[in-house]
Amino acid sequence: MSCHETRDNEVDADETVALVGCPNVGKSVVFGELAEQYVDVSNYPGTTVDTTEAAFGDAKLTDTPGVYGISSFDEEERVTREIVLEADAVVNVVDATQLNRDLFLTLQLLDMGIPTVVALNMMDEAEADGIDIDADALEAELGVPVVPTVAVDGEGIDELRDRVDEARAPESTSIERWFDELPDDVEATRAEKTLLVEGDEPTAERVSTGKVVADGGVPALAETGQREDVYGHRRRRVEDIVGGVLSREERDSSWAERFSDLMLNPLTGTPIALVMLGGIFYFIGVVVAQKIVGFLETIVFGEYYNPVVNNTVESLLPAAGWAEPVEFMLINGNLGLLTITVQYIVGVLLPLVVAFYFVIGILEDSGMLPRLAVLTDRGLNRIGLNGRAIVPMIVGVGCVTMAVITTRMVGNRRERLISTALLGLAVPCSAQLGIIMGLLAGLGLIWWFGYLGVLLVVLGVAGLFLDRTLPGDSTPLVTELPRMRVPRPRNILRKTYNRTKMFLREAIPLFGVTAIAISVLEYVGGFGLIQRALSPVTALVGLPQEFARVLLLGLVRRDFAAAGMTDMAFTTAETFVGLVVITLFVPCILAMVMILKERDAKSALLMWIGSWVVAFGVGGLLAVIL
């Protein structure tokens, strides 16, 4: 999935096959393999926060959010429950290393009578852990097809595809002993009866018994639920099955487990995280931003591309009055459509975006992100969040728009508001950060840490303010740590390629339209008027009127503003202040649309206005200090 792409490509088909499984079991990988299309996947829970559809033969294949059960404890379970109740068959993806955990959901599906085929995924990692699972015995115990898979390598996918038609459920299960507790006149399917005896309120509301329920009261059928008894019985069935099909060989801790322990210890994890930050800075800020971008701007565009384009346009256009504005729009020295605009996109943005997506992909695939969540949990508690909020924050470094969607995975509405506000305020996106790192590298390492320090202070103060003013309490961190693993080059490269492609698909038209609008404004003199109108604001942060052009670009996308800074002749202090201001400046148009969609109009407006206030407040303070 692209960073800005929604996952609701609807497919018209009579039959539906739903992919269901716990978080981080490789469900999206299985979806991509079965549907033969690319899906963005990462090694941490909560990647899939929405549904995705694709054609699967004559049927519709639907990927669902990761859940541990089909009830109504949260939005993900409610969404999955509705899809499962409508599905003709379910592919239940099970993590072979977590069989004791994942079979609870499997047995719930079978209790509901949902035709199911089990994909026993991550068999390679189970083998590495010394776990041996008798898949044939498991199939006999469950009474449904069980297919061992290693989805990331495509192993077992063909067999899984062939056996989807064999999806089935046992004629009856032991849960039916509780069905007698339901009223005699209840009209419900086996799936609904299962949910009713588990006390599922939405199902109780939907299944009528002709009794009146008072406003705000609990539906009568929900009171018949004996959730703890049913769940306890199901867990014992899981333990019995696992005991009969799984054997484990004792072995020493692997390097990944030892490194994971080091990451989770603040005394060792913090230095490791700082070393990683330094390495990322060197790779992007020095190798890519200084050497590669410098070569492209100076040699490729400075000596070859731009002179050739300038000469070609000048020779092709006639010396007529009407041609003058056209020529200005195409090749003017500030933001010519065929010269500087192309240079910004290809010579500056592209290499930095590729580098950043590559690095983020490694962090995601290795399983570092959830460990950073644990490492940062205590600090985030001080601003009303828990460690899970670190995932949207880090995703926001890739793309703030996508990160706003992933705020669904944090605890409650209050935490989602805080994390969204902080994302919009002080988390630069990858394209912007890549350029900023390049500019800061020219100033020196101390300015890089100064920049990080300013952002952390702003994040802390803004978080404290929101934590003190918003009603409610934060929730504790409850997360599952995925296995640490060596990143898979194929996944990293595919992820980098697809994210870069989607970035260019969005950025090129936007950048082109922005370049034309600014060139027209500049040609007719309107740009000068805007610059003069904004001069009090730019003066507030100690920057010349020309900085207004950067602000106009930043209203469209933050990375455009950063690109606009690359040819500004500022002093060291002015450059630093300018970079802080454009980082804290308003979210890009797409991010604002997503904030409006995920939160509400009032919240979005307050965040937009607040960004102006904070950006120029902090910038003005820095201008005085520096």
Q: Which helix (H) or strand (E) holds 146?
A: strand 146-148
- 1 pLDDT band (50/70/90 cuts)? very low
Measured CA to CA in angstroms, residue 437 lies from 280, 422, 434 at distances of 10, 20, 5
Q: What is the mean pLDDT of residues 343-351?
A: 82
CA dihedral 534, 537, 539, 543 (to 10 degrees): -80
Which of 259, 257, 485 shows the shortest CA–CA distance to 367?
Answer: 485
95-104, 116-125, 329-338: least confident range: 329-338
The residue-averaged pLDDT of 192-216 equals 71
CATH 3.40.50.300, domain 9-249, yes or no:
yes
Do 586 and 600 touch, CB atoms closer than 8 A?
no
Annotated binding residues for GTP, written as ranges, equal 21-28, 46-50, 63-66, 121-124
Q: Are 515 and 556 in contact (CB under 8 A)?
A: no
What pLDDT shows up at residue 618? 92
Structure tokens at 62: 């639907």
Helix intervals (H) in 476-600: 489-524, 526-533, 535-540, 547-556, 558-565, 572-584, 589-598
- How big is the chain by its Cα radius of gyration, in Å? 28
Residue 10's Cβ-count burial label (10 Å; 0-12, 13-18, 19+) is exposed
Enumerate the known binding-site residues: 21-28, 46-50, 63-66, 121-124
Model confidence at 117: pLDDT above 80:
yes
Q: What is the pLDDT of residue 519?
A: 83
Among 3-7, 96-100, 370-374, the range with the most confident prediction by mean pLDDT is: 96-100
Q: Where are the domains of the chain?
A: 9-249, 268-625
In order of 112, 227, 417, 459, 601, the CA distances from 469 in angstroms are 45, 38, 12, 15, 19
pLDDT band at 508 (very low <50, low <70, confident <90, very high): confident
Convert the pLDDT of each residue in 436-488 to its tens digit. 887 887 787 788 888 989 998 998 899 899 888 888 777 776 666 777 888 88
Q: What is the DSSP letter of 295?
A: H
Q: In this structure, are residues 525 and 571 in contact, taking their beta carbons and an 8 Å threshold? A: no
Tell if the pTM clears 0.85, that is, is over it: no
Mean pLDDT of all residues belonging to the chain: 82
> In this predicted structure, what is the pLDDT of residue 315?
92
Q: How far apart are CA 193 and CA 75, in angstroms?
A: 21
Instruction: Give the tokens for residue 390.
Output: 């670190």
